[in-house]
Amino acid sequence: MTSADQSKPASVAMLAEPLLVPRSEHGISRKQFSPNAIKVLYRLKDAGYEAYLVGGCIRDILLGIEPKDFDVVTNAKPEEIKRLFRNCRLIGRRFRLAHIVFGQEIIEVATMRGHHQENESEDETPATHISHASDEGQLLRDNVYGTIEEDAERRDFSINALYYSINDFSIRDYANGLAAIKARKIELIGDPETRYREDPVRMLRAVRFATKLDMSIAPATRAPIPQLADLLSNIPAARLFEECLKLFLNGKAEANFLMLRELGLFKYLFPATDKALNQDQSGFNQRFIQQMFANTDERINADKKVTPAFIFAALLWQPLKQRAETIMQRDSMLEHDAYNIAMNQVLADSARHVAVPKRFTIGARDIWHLQLRLDKRAGQRAYRLSLQPKFRAAYDFLLLRVASGETALQELADWWTNYLEKDTQGQKTMVKTLDEGPRPRRRRPRKPRKKPTDND
């Protein structure tokens, strides 16, 4: 072994034999599982298939966290699962999955995955289930079925390679996941670089699990991330949007943001925002984004509503301002027109990395437009603005700007705060007082000069 090999952190290997923890030793009861998940397990079992609860639900219960999702793994093929459940729909191309629908709850059932298979000769008859990888090693299609041992090896993190058997109520641990939970470590199974290349989104998942579960990322799992972060450029922008929702709407958005920045991942999600953060000497941009995420976490943890439109409006606000100011100076354009052009450009640029759906970009546009109108309060304008669907979000956005250091907006923010606390008569009085303020002198139009005649 070379000195370089000795200095490299050890990766997590599979156990030769799974650690079998009987019901009497793990303390997990079926009462902690969804009744619908239990129904799915028993129907698969009664039909002669193997079936296990796997991954996050087992992990969370062991950590004392109430699980939100219950995933099942089985040796039944997707088409066989569909024949067993009338309420089943098959989804996905990259991974073929079965969703068993019980009203608002969906139990996800996956067929046990096996090792990658590639057709080596064009003359060979294609296998029914093969995997396809890109030149960078990313798996593009992976409907390869195998045994429970192979499925465990294909899991991403050791804490997710835990299986609950409905036959004897035991837990099977294939990669020292129980030890990782005890040590509070996020560990990839297998060689980290290879696993990240197979699916670069695992880098984002490592961050999310670390903050969600209050764990640290193991050195071997963490080390390759900064060098491989650019692999996120190969991930479809729509998938990265879904990952962003998981990162920013789980009550740990601020911690996720800081770790994404620390590991060099954030710039591949929001490059323009990352550039604005790096260029800002005052620290305002960092305070603005961090405070937005802190407020988001507070609302989510208090079971209050959060709209992704607000989050993306804040993330792209500084790039938008910079672009609009450039357009105004370069083209001598009015502020409103410059911002309209800048909005189109910034959203189009961002969509190449994270594809935010139109329903949220429309909301972000409304919040931005209202920032330009909040100081126009005379007459009926204040009342009409307060009726706009995104007014409350725009008002919160204004407060966020002030809290982050835009002290020039303090008076405007205070005025709107007082206005919203007043009844109708009090609001009219505030607007009237505003109308009675000093006004610019109006110049009288000059009389046209009399044209000289021949007699002059």
Catalytic residues: 69, 71, 156
With beta carbons less than 8 A apart as the criterion, state whether 158 and 177 touch.
yes
* Dist. CA 150–CA 115, nearest whole Å: 7
List strands edge to edge, sheet with 19-21: 19-21, 171-173, 162-165, 51-54, 71-74, 105-111, 97-102, 88-91
- Can you tell me the distance from the alpha carbon of 256 to that of 244, in angstroms, rounded to the nearest whole number? 10
Q: Are 410 and 289 in contact (CB under 8 A)?
A: no
In angstroms, how far is CA 152 from the centroid of its own chain? Answer: 26
Question: Rounded to whole angstroms, what are the CA distances from 217 to 10, 181, 428, 433, 437?
Answer: 13, 12, 57, 58, 59
Token output for 395: 């008002």
Residue linked to tokens 């610019």? 440
CB distance 199 to 259 below 8 Å:
no
Q: Hey, which residues does 101 pair with through a beta bridge?
A: 106
**Are the beta carbons of 148 and 118 closer than 8 angstroms?**
no
Consecutive H or E run containing 397: helix 391-403
Question: CA torsion sign, 98 to 101 to 104 to 108?
Answer: negative
Ranges of beta strands (E only) in 154-233 are 162-165, 171-173, 185-186, 216-217
Token duo for residue 87: 């309420």
Distance CA 2, CA 450 (A): 99
Residue written as tokens 């729909």? 89
- Cα atoms found within 13 Å of the Cα of residue 151, Cβ hemisphere only: 26
Nearest of 210, 208, 214 to residue 242 by alpha carbon: 208
Do residues 310 and 371 touch, judged by C-beta distance below 8 A? no
Alpha carbon distance 195, 137 (integer Å)? 9
CA dihedral 238, 244, 245, 251 (to 10 degrees): 170
